[in-house]
């Protein structure tokens, strides 16, 4: 059987999130399983099935060994043949190699998922946009990940809140953050299906990405909605609005090298908004740094506004949307709010929301 190297590499790359790279009690969790003209992986947290023309070939091989071997082959076409000695032989140009076929338990688990028998539901058209906006970098909390309830997508780390409005309602689910990162690399998502503890998402090329979901009833949706409602209800007179300078991300990156904190997630920078610029300042025991970035649209009056904000939040928010409000309710510390038509992100400028 002849396989195209590029097609095989692409299929294996999509399967890699389902490969166990540490230790697992499931035999074959670190393997590629070939069968039904698909390549499968399963590690009890993520399972991936990618359609590829295998001409009926079946079996399993050590995933990373096979992937590295095929990646280093120079020929465009690889002849692959299972043999009676329990190996998979490969011939490509002058290269000849073999890899041992494995016994696995994963085939039974993959069959139990029954991805070919699922009843698919069309994914909202803006689902992937929501993932890109709501996914948080450096979220170390138990609340990490993406939660969908109704027609809203949420994420939070107890200091920051994201909410995105989907174009249609979905069944509820909560996916862990590393899983969301893997999912975003898979390509356009067309359909989904929720069955038991698993969320299944299908791509345009027929690839199925299956992942265990967290208990969405434990996600603080009501608290998030309360906070957002409070911010949205604040009198416009208590809001200061503008949009961030294009150069802000680079400026914060430079200044934050002198920010105090134990790591990127706790590095604080001070923002001082002036009539026609914003000054970014950071300090720690070894020194300090500051730099100003001009506002494209000056404030009508001097805002006299000073905020301490986590540097990673500021750069992440600025890469997504530039329009912002600073709001204050009563005597509370101000909240920094970024927004677009379907999206709102807010952060407390003290210890938490």
Residues 145 and 176 in one domain: yes
Residues 207 and 258 in one domain: no
Within a domain: residue 226? no
Last residue of a domain, one of 173, 193, 221: 221
Residues 210 and 247 in one domain: no
Q: In CATH, what number is assigned to the domain containing residue 170?
A: 3.10.150.10
pLDDT for 351: 39
Q: Other C-beta atoms within 10 Å of 184: how many?
A: 14
- DSSP character at residue 214: B
Residues 27 and 43 in one domain: yes
Last residue of a domain, one of 83, 113, 143: 113
CB 184 within 8 A of CB 131: yes
pLDDT for 209: 98
Work out the end-to-end distance of the chain between its first and last CA atoms, rounded to an integer number of angstroms: 59
CB 175 within 8 A of CB 131: no
Q: Which of 105, 115, 113, 118 is nearest to 33 (CA)?
A: 105
CB 266 within 8 A of CB 310: yes
Within a domain: residue 179? yes
Within a domain: residue 353? no
Tell me how far apart the alpha carbons of residues 105 and 230 are, in angstroms, rounded to a whole number: 52
Q: Other C-beta atoms within 10 Å of 296: how many?
A: 12
Within a domain: residue 55? yes
Structural domain of 52: 2-113
**Is the backbone of residue 143 left (phi > 0), alpha (psi -120 to 50) or beta?**
alpha
Within a domain: residue 228? no
Spell out the per-residue pLDDT of the chain, length 353, in tens.
888 999 999 999 999 999 998 777 899 999 999 998 999 999 999 999 999 988 888 899 999 999 999 999 999 999 998 888 889 999 998 899 999 999 899 999 999 999 999 999 999 999 999 999 999 877 889 999 999 999 999 999 887 899 999 999 999 999 999 999 999 999 899 999 999 999 999 999 999 999 999 999 999 999 999 989 888 888 777 778 888 888 888 999 999 999 876 544 457 889 898 899 999 999 998 999 999 999 988 988 887 788 888 887 788 777 887 788 887 655 556 678 888 889 998 876 653 33
Residues 109 and 125 in one domain: no
Residues 35 and 9 in one domain: yes
Residues 238 and 344 in one domain: yes
- DSSP character at residue 352: -
The pTM score is 0.86
CB 273 within 8 A of CB 240: yes
pLDDT for 304: 73
Q: Other C-beta atoms within 10 Å of 181: how many?
A: 14
Residues 9 and 109 in one domain: yes
Last residue of a domain, one of 194, 221, 248: 221
Number of separate domains in the chain? 3
Residues 139 and 102 in one domain: no
SS3 of residue 233 by DSSP = coil
């Amino acid at each position: 059987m002849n396989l195209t190297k590029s097609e095989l590499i692409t299929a294996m790359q999509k399967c890699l999130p389902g490969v166990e790279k540490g230790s697992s009690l499931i035999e074959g969790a670190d393997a590629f399983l070939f069968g039904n003209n698909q390549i499968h992986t399963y590690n009890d947290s993520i399972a991936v099935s990618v359609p590829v023309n295998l001409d009926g070939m079946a079996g399993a091989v050590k995933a990373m060994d096979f992937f590295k071997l095929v990646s280093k082959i120079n020929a465009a076409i690889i002849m692959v043949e299972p043999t009676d000695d329990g190996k998979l032989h490969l011939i490509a140009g002058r290269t000849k190699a073999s890899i041992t076929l494995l016994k696995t338990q994963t085939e039974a688990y993959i069959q139990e998922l029954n991805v070919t028998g699922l009843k698919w539901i069309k994914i909202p058209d803006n689902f992937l946009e929501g993932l890109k906006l709501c996914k948080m970098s450096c979220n170390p909390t138990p609340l990490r990940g993406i939660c969908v309830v109704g027609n809203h997508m949420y994420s939070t780390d107890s200091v920051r809140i994201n909410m995105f409005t989907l174009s249609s309602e979905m069944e509820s689910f909560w996916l862990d953050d590393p899983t969301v990162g893997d999912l975003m690399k898979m390509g356009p998502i067309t359909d989904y299906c929720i069955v038991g503890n698993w969320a299944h998402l299908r791509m345009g090329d027929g690839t199925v990405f299956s992942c265990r979901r967290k208990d969405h009833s434990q996600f603080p949706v009501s608290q998030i909605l309360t906070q957002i409602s409070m911010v949205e209800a604040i009198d416009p007179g208590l809001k200061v609005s503008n949009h961030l300078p294009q150069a802000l991300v680079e400026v914060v990156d430079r200044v934050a090298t002198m920010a105090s904190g134990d790591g990127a997630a706790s590095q604080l920078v001070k923002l001082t908004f002036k009539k026609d610029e914003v000054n970014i300042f950071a300090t720690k025991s070894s020194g300090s740094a500051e730099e100003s970035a001009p506002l494209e649209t000056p404030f009508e009056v001097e805002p006299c506004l000073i905020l301490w904000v986590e540097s990673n939040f500021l750069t992440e928010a600025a890469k997504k949307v530039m329009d912002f409000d600073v709001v204050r309710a009563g005597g509370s510390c101000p909240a920094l709010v970024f927004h677009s038509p379907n999206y709102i992100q807010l952060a407390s400028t003290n210890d938490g929301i």
